[in-house]
Amino acid sequence: MDMNATLVQIEPTIESDKLAVLLGGNKQRRLSRSINTKVTTLEQSLDRLIQPRLHYRIVKAKTKDDATVHLEDGVEFRSAKLSRALRDAEKIVCFIGTIGFDVEKEIGRLLDEHKLSEAYILDAMASVAVEDMVEQFHQDMEAKCRNESKTATFRFSPGYCDWPITEQKKLFSVFDAEEIGVELLDSCLMEPRKSISGVFGIAPPGSAPHNPCLHCREKNCTARRT
């Protein structure tokens, strides 16, 4: 099986409203002046520390049933919601993205120096950065699909909805671990910590993306897409 993945490097941006959600901003998603000052100072450190890398592979979907997505490689993803979301997909995009270890080392240094607020803010900024990188990648792929009159589905990550975090092992099996520079721990969490993995589908012309959040009873889910 050819496990060579495509590498893309996308410079993430820190959107203030998304950062405000993580840092407890007001209802207008605005940060206080004191926090804004620290964010401005830490932005320079973040730009210097992050090493954005995203690897992806496009694998043909073999079959899909009510609870399982079968890939041509022999990998099977077990999730009823994922299966419904990918029901029309002919190909599955598997991806793993990270912003590297250096930002985590800096967060650790700040904690050691008892600069707790700076460490907390930098951690939140790093989370927004890696999410933005992955979102940019998804949007770029959506644009490519539209140019070919195809459709990109919603993206899913192990641990969300009914897709167990243990399925990370199957997703990582699609890649050469040494090539991607992200390690999967026994807990199924990733190192570097600021990493995101997931999948989305590429469907033929005329397909309408299925949003599982519209039929979910978890109204307070932070990942809800409506």
Residue 188 lies in a domain: yes
| pLDDT, position 64 | 81
Structure tokens at 180: 């991607």
The model's pTM is 0.89
> Is 69 a residue whose pLDDT tops 90?
yes
Provide the β-strand partners of residue 138. none
> Is 77 a residue whose pLDDT tops 80?
yes
Q: What is the pLDDT of residues 199-212, one digit of tens each?
A: 999 998 766 666 66
Q: What is the pLDDT of residues 136-193, one digit of tens each?
A: 999 999 999 999 999 999 999 999 889 999 999 999 999 988 889 999 999 999 999 9
Residue 70 lies in a domain: yes
| pLDDT, position 98 | 97
Q: Give me the phi and psi of 68, to 5 degrees please.
A: -140, 140
Place of tokens 């040494």: 178
State the Rg of the chain over Cα.
18
| Domain span at 115 | 6-215
Residue 220 lies in a domain: no
Structure tokens at 74: 């022999």
Residue 172 lies in a domain: yes
Residue 83 lies in a domain: yes
Q: How many domains does the chain have?
A: 1
User: Is 94 in contact with 116 (CB distance < 8 Å)?
Assistant: no
Q: What is the pLDDT of residues 91-114, one digit of tens each?
A: 999 999 999 999 999 999 999 999
Q: Which CATH number covers residue 103? A: 3.40.109.40
| pLDDT, position 205 | 78
Residue 226 lies in a domain: no
Residue 222 lies in a domain: no
Residue 157 lies in a domain: yes
Q: What is the mean predicted confidence (pLDDT) over 122-126?
A: 97
Contacts of 150 (CB under 8 A, 6+ apart): 202, 203, 204, 205, 207
Task: Tell me the one-letter amino acid at 99.
Answer: I
